[in-house]
Chain A
Amino acid sequence: KAGVTQTPRYLIKTRGQQVTLSCSPISGHRSVSWYQQTPGQGLQFLFEYFSETQRNKGNFPGRFSGRQFSNSRSEMNVSTLELGDSALYLCASSLAGTPGHEQYFGPGTRLTVT
């Protein structure tokens, strides 16, 4: 079974631009979560999607948005990029059926904002 894939793996953008990151979950997984990982803040939850609906949301500004498609693939978008948005963005998928289920992580997209 293929794992979680994320594209692109690396991105360099300029302040003020916008960016779209993509995540393909493991086949059969309907829940997709996004996290921002930085050295100072650790792993912070952005949002979770299930069946094309956002079910959970972290404490990030509205510049961060996402969506999920009918095939469970997900995208996240960051508009008006700031230097502080430089981070590793991780996507995780899960079956989301029962307590104790684990999340499976992709390798991440490394975003650098200059």
Chain B
Amino acid sequence: GNSVTQMEGPVTLSEEAFLTINCTYTATGYPSLFWYVQYPGEGLQLLLKATKADDKGSNKGFEATYRKETTSFHLEKGSVQVSDSAVYFCALSEQNNFNKFYFGSGTKLNVKP
């Protein structure tokens, strides 16, 4: 079946540090891949997405590249800010049933000034 695996958190970084949150997936065909972010007390917001192999999604300094060969979609940011502290979720939607989403368990990021 389909699934998404994320690195365990929490991840604690100092401001301006480099961020990587690993995400790997299991799915048939070519799913669409997403990163969502959840700030305290709020629902999830889309951060970025990629719909085919080798696509790079980017937003607010965050990037992730759809790697079919390694079934990965790692999230990166060159210089994190305190305001980036949140929980990050990797997700996929199936190629043939794109209304069904699978989410990873989430990775909490704490950025210290």
Contacts and interface: CB of A to CB of B under 8 A. Distances in A.
B42 A100 contact: no
Interface in B43-102: 43-46, 49, 51, 89, 93, 95, 97-102
B51 A99 contact: yes
Interface in A53-107: 55-56, 90, 92, 94, 96, 98-107
User: How many B residues touch the partner, as a band?
Assistant: 20 to 34
A6 to B, nearest CB: 8
B32 A94 contact: no
Contacts of B99: 31, 33, 48, 50, 55-56, 94, 96
Chain A interface bracket (under 10, 10 to 19, 20 to 34, 35 or more): 20 to 34
Given A55-B99, A104-B46, 7 more contacts: A42-B103, A42-B105, A56-B99, A99-B51, A100-B49, A102-B34, A103-B46
B49 to A, nearest CB: 6
Interface string B19-51: 000000000000010101000011111100101
Interface of A: 4, 31, 33, 35, 42-43, 45, 48, 50, 55-56, 90, 92, 94, 96, 98-108
A99 B95 contact: yes
A28 to B, nearest CB: 16
Going nearest first, the 9 A-B pairs with the smallest beta carbon separation are A100-B51, A105-B43, A42-B105, A43-B103, A105-B44, A100-B32, A99-B98, A102-B46, A56-B100
A82 to B, nearest CB: 22
6 contacts: A33-B101, A48-B100, A90-B43, A94-B99, A100-B49, A102-B34
Contacts of A100: 32, 49, 51, 93, 98
B97 to A, nearest CB: 7
A48, A56, A100, A106: most-surrounded residue (chain B CB, <10 A): A100
